[in-house]
Each structure stands twice: as structure tokens, then as C-alpha cells.
Amino acid sequence: MDKIEVIGVMSGTSLDGLDLCHVIFDLKNLSDFKIANSISISYNSNILEKLHNIVERESEEINNIDIVYGTFIGESINKFISDFNLKNINLISSHGHTVFHQPEMGITLQIGNGEIINKMTGIKTVNNFRAQDLSLKGQGAPLVPIGDKILFSKFKYCLNLGGFINLSIKSDNQITAYDICPLNTVLNFYSKKMGYEYDKNGILSSRGKINIDLFNELNSISFYFKKNPKSLGIEFVIDKIFPLIDSYKISEEEILATFVKHAAFQISKNINDSEKVLLSGGGTYNNNLVDILRNEYNINIFIPNKQIIDFKEALIFALLGVLRIQNKTNCLKSVTGAEKDHSSGDIYF
């Protein structure tokens, strides 16, 4: 077999839906790939209700939601296969949805039951990519950098603007990566308070005035002074970001403007040359954020095609699954801080 066809599955922390990405890889050269089909499926009200504030639920309820969500993923994949008349899918590689991620306590959990997905589709399935890394004393995140290294090698910097902002940096055949700060987990929350699903094109944040006191307090949060490797979970937003923001009695537009400026500032602290920066993730469409990065911080932004913007993470998880079934490294110690490079993920036949 010279090629392998994979469906990569990704759900972000911002709850904007389930991404499915049909990728064809050349097995002799995995950097040679084609995104053949892709779709983003909005969550119905039942799934949204179950995922919302899932971190606060009891373990038995989380187990039940794992089954419900795994069934939803299986149904979504079967419909995707049917709608696009896909005949040769060899593998499903699913990140799942993160319930909590607390590496300092050795805990991470992604739901979306892999066994159910496998049984519903009849296709070999890989999931649960993070847990093994924690057992090897790593952060369990970020996992995308191996994909940045293999698929996007010409870019020194790969910056994903999703629920959280993650940065990969390549230098001297080494790659380091880490989470910088939250983004859409915060922006979407306060946009919804204004009656919008999200800050489309950054228009809402562009109207607001930056609150300097809040900006300075956000930048003083201790996480930003920790050494790498480091990663973030939704708990950080709930415990640190929301209480701080809500202690200021200011408008949502001011909050959005201030937080976008904060995110841009944190990004600028981590990019200190004129090399091109590949953007991806929903935040790429936030023109206000991109303008601040370009015009105020002189960052050399490169915006790829829409498929890469929207489906880069699902694409890379497809790659992680291929590496896993080949028993090749898909988790880098230089990125997560684990004791060794390793091949991570549970396989269901």
C-alpha cells in the first residue's frame, strides 16, 4: 500500500463544532499529503448542553457523556463517509473533546469513546493521544508540533489561534512548542454575552477601548513567566481569567478589545525575528488581532488557504494516527517535557 486514507477528527475547547478532515498521505513520504474532503459540524443543543461546563460534572456523568459523544462522532463520520462516497478509508484518528487537562496533577481526559467509534464505523480507530505522555512525566501537550515539523517544515513559526494559542518553533533541526495564552475560549464567552456566537472578523473588539489596568493585570498572571514546557486547560480560564476580568466593571467591547491586545502582546513576547509565521485556527479570521500583530508588533504573518486555517489540527491528528499505527514517534519530549520521545494513542481494531 503506497497511500493511506485517514479521517482526522478534532473538537476544540471553544465548542464551535466537530471538524472532520479526509486526508490522503503518501506512506513513503508523509509530508506529501492531500486534504480530499473536510467539514465542520455544528453541535446540536443536546451535545452542547452535555459539553458545556463538563469539567464540573461528576465522574459517572462524564462516563455517560463519553459514550454519547463517541456515538455522535461515529454517526458524524458515517454520514461524512456516505455524503462524500468515500470507499477507501483505512483509519480514523480522533482527538476527542478535552474535559480537563491538569498536567501538574498528572491528569488529562478527552472524551469521545474510541471503541464505540470503531464499532460504529468498522474502521481501525486511534484516540487518547495525551495520557501516555503524562505517565512519562510530560505535559501531554501540545501534540500538534510533530505535524508542524513534518507537514509545514518550511515555516520556523507555526501559530495556532484556537481556543488557546499554541506556538511551534523550529531551530537547528529541533522543535519546541507550548501554549501561550487563551483566545477564543475567552472571546467567544464575552461575545455571547453581547448576543453573538463569536467576534466575527474582530469587529466587536475593534470597537472597544483598551483598559490599561486590566491589560497590565492580565500580563502579570504567573503562567506567563513559567519556563517551557507548559500547557493550558479550560480550568485556567475558569479559575484565573474570568474572575480577573469580571472584577472590572467594564463593557464587553472593552473586555474584548483588552483581551485581544493582551493576546497579541503575549504572542509578540515569543516571536523575536522577522521570519514568516504560519497562522491557523479560527482566530486567523480576527482581523483586529492580525492587524495588531502586523502593525503594532511587526510580526511577519502568513495566512494559508482556508482548508489549512480551519482543519490544520484535524489534519495533524490524522497524521498522529498514522504514526501511531506504524509505531513511530508522534509525541516529542522536546515539546512536552516527557522522559522520552514515544508513540502514543489507543488503537481499536
* Ordered domains of the chain (ranges, CATH): 3-140+335-348 (3.30.420.40), 146-306 (3.30.420.40)
Q: What is the mean pLDDT of residues 242-268?
A: 99
Question: Is 90 exceeded by the pLDDT of residue 43?
Answer: yes
Please report which helix (H) or strand (E) contains residue 93, including its range: strand 91-94
Q: Is 101 helix (H, G, I), strand (E, B) or coil?
A: strand
Edge-to-edge strands of the sheet including 125-127?
29-41, 18-26, 3-11, 91-94, 125-127, 346-348
Which cell goes with 288? 483586529
Compute CA distances 323 → 51, 104, 152, 274, whole Å.
Answer: 29, 27, 16, 32
Query: Regarding predicted confidence, which is higher, 171 or 86?
Result: 86
What's the rounded Cα separation, in Å, for the pair 340 and 349?
27
3-state secondary structure of 242: helix
How confident is the prediction for the chain on average, in pLDDT? 97
Cell digits of residue 260: 485581544
- Burial of residue 340 (number of CB atoms within 10 Å: 0-12, 13-18, 19+): exposed
Question: How large a percentage of the chain has pLDDT more than 70?
Answer: 100
135: cell is: 505517565
pLDDT, one tens digit per residue, over 170-224 is 998 889 999 999 999 999 999 999 999 999 999 999 999 999 999 999 999 999 9
Residue 39 has pLDDT above 90, yes or no: yes
CA distances from residue 58 to 53, 61, 85 in whole angstroms, order as listed:
11, 5, 40
d(CA 324, CA 331): 10
Q: Where residue 56 falls among pLDDT bands split at 50, 70, 90?
A: confident
pLDDT in tens, 336-346: 999 999 999 99
DSSP summary character for residue 342: B
Give the pLDDT score at 254.
99
